[in-house]
């Protein structure tokens, strides 16, 4: 088996059949409210304490896996508790780079590449330097990049410090259904677009294409009678699906050959996407310029010219969606939408219509 790495966090193995296989081995430490100091576990993991101001969430607006952590942090109102470092959209094989900041170094950690935080803890770290990652600010070393647990932990473990009115995005009564659906979405949609884009044989691509569209057709049907994926309000299930849907027409349709049709041509999914996009925390954390630059410039095996397309027209994302007629509401009674985006965290490259909607 030959192995290659896409250091955007899309570590992949090219199997003998040409199928894309994601490397899902991560630093699976966790930050828990139940511990007072770092505790080494028998399985080698470390559990870290919840301490405001101790950690920095390292992310990139281009990355769908990081995007879900940015959305969750914003909805929970943890901006003053866990700071946010943002890498630029393009990089080489060594790792994400903080080239959007003055001097091309992260202003808190003082590092140029995210790789430095990984090597600070694991000098011979052998796998992809991925976002999202949480870094201990004092030691400048990575704590975890295990995005499957990182995002639910932002909902569960930091509740003492979340904003007043923060929604519960992972209700106990819905967890079994959320877990089942998000597992399906990860395999068939979040990862499904990559199986299409990085397939290296026709058969592998054809199979990936069929699986992806079977899943999208299922979600189209599911969302034709309900406003959100699980229950009556936004949950982690919606946060996990959104980053793939919002990137679909701009990137995956053409770049990854997921081109049966666009999301804007699927009535239920298109209305659902517009509904989420217009909710604070979603559209106001989405940077299409950085998203397109990342995929079209970094993936030289897919796009060797590195030409970034100007289209498509995405202004329709702020048009009326009419999803209110299905019932439900973005947040449960007693919960509220987050306030304005903090000054230093505003999306740099908002579309004119996007800016008018959120800041006008």
Is residue 7's pLDDT more than 60? no
- CA angle, 250 then 251 then 256, to 5°: 150
Collapsed DSSP state (helix, strand, coil) of residue 31? strand
Classify residue 298 by its DSSP letter: I
Beta pairing partners, 216: none
**Is the pLDDT confidence value at 1 over 70?**
no
pLDDT band at 15 (very low <50, low <70, confident <90, very high): low
Render pLDDT for 232-277 as a digit per residue (tens, 0 to 9).
999 999 999 999 999 999 999 999 999 999 999 999 999 999 999 9
d(CA 257, CA 254): 5
> Using one digit for the tens of pLDDT, what is the confidence trace for 81-101?
999 999 999 998 889 999 999
Catalytically annotated residues: 63, 194
Preceding peptide of 132 cis, ω within 30°: yes
Report the pLDDT value the prediction gives residue 352, as an integer from 0 to 100: 97
Q: What is the pLDDT of residue 93?
A: 87
Res. 4 pLDDT band, cuts 50 70 90: very low
Whether the Cβ atoms of residue 192 and residue 20 lie closer than 8 Å to each other: no
The distance from CA 98 to its chain's CA centroid, rounded to whole angstroms, is 18
- 190 close to 256: Cβ distance less than 8 angstroms: no
Query: Taking all residues of the chain, what is their mean pLDDT, rounded to a whole number?
Result: 94
User: Per residue in 33-60, pLDDT tens?
Assistant: 999 999 999 999 999 999 999 999 999 9
The whole-number pLDDT of residue 116 equals 98
Write down the pTM of the prediction. 0.95
How does pLDDT run across 203-244, given as a tens digit for each residue? 999 999 999 999 999 999 999 999 999 999 999 999 999 999
Distance CA 98, CA 100 (A): 6
Which pLDDT belongs to residue 43?
92
pLDDT value of residue 23: 85
Instruction: Delineate the domains of the chain, giving CATH numbers in brackets.
Output: 2-161 (3.40.30.10), 174-359 (1.20.1050.10)
Provide the β-strand partners of residue 32: 49
**Using an 8 Å Cβ cutoff, are 291 and 248 in contact?**
no
Q: Give the whole-angstrom CA distance, residue 15 versus residue 269.
A: 32
Three-class DSSP category at 209? helix
Binding-site residues for glutathione, in ranges, read: 96
Q: Is the pLDDT confidence value at 170 over 80?
A: yes
């Amino acid at each position: 088996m030959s192995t290659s790495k896409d250091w955007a966090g899309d570590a992949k193995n090219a199997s003998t059949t040409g199928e894309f296989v994601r490397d899902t081995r991560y630093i699976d430490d966790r930050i828990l409210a139940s511990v007072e100091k770092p505790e080494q576990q028998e399985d080698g993991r470390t559990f870290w304490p919840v301490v405001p101001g101790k950690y920095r969430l390292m992310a990139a607006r281009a990355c769908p896996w990081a995007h879900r952590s940015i959305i969750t942090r914003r909805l929970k109102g943890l901006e003053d508790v866990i700071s946010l470092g943002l890498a630029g959209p393009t990089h080489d094989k060594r790792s994400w780079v903080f080239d959007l900041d003055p001097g091309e170094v992260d202003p808190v950690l003082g590092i140029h590449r995210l790789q430095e935080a990984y090597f600070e803890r694991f000098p011979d770290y052998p796998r992809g330097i991925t976002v999202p990652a949480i870094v201990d600010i004092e030691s400048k070393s990575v704590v975890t990049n295990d995005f499957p647990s990182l995002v639910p932990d932002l909902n569960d473990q930091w509740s003492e410090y979340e904003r007043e009115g923060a929604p519960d995005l992972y209700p106990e009564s819905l967890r079994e259904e959320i877990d089942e659906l998000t597992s399906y979405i990860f395999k068939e949609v979040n990862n499904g677009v990559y199986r299409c884009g990085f397939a290296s044989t026709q058969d592998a691509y054809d199979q990936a294409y069929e699986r992806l569209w079977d899943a999208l057709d299922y979600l189209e049907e599911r969302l034709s009678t309900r406003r959100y994926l699980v229950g009556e309000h936004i949950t982690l299930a919606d946060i996990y699906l959104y980053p793939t849907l919002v990137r679909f027409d701009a990137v995956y349709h053409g770049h990854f050959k997921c081109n049966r049709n666009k999301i804007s041509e699927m009535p239920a999914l298109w209305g659902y996407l517009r509904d989420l996009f217009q909710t604070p925390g979603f559209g106001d954390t989405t940077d299409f310029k950085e998203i397109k630059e990342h995929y079209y410039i970094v993936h030289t095996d897919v796009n060797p010219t590195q030409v970034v397309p100007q289209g498509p027209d995405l202004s329709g994302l702020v048009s009326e969606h009419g999803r209110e007629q299905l019932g439900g509401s973005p947040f449960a009674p007693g919960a509220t939408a987050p306030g304005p985006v903090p000054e230093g965290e505003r999306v740099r490259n908002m579309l004119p219509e996007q800016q008018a909607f959120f800041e006008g």
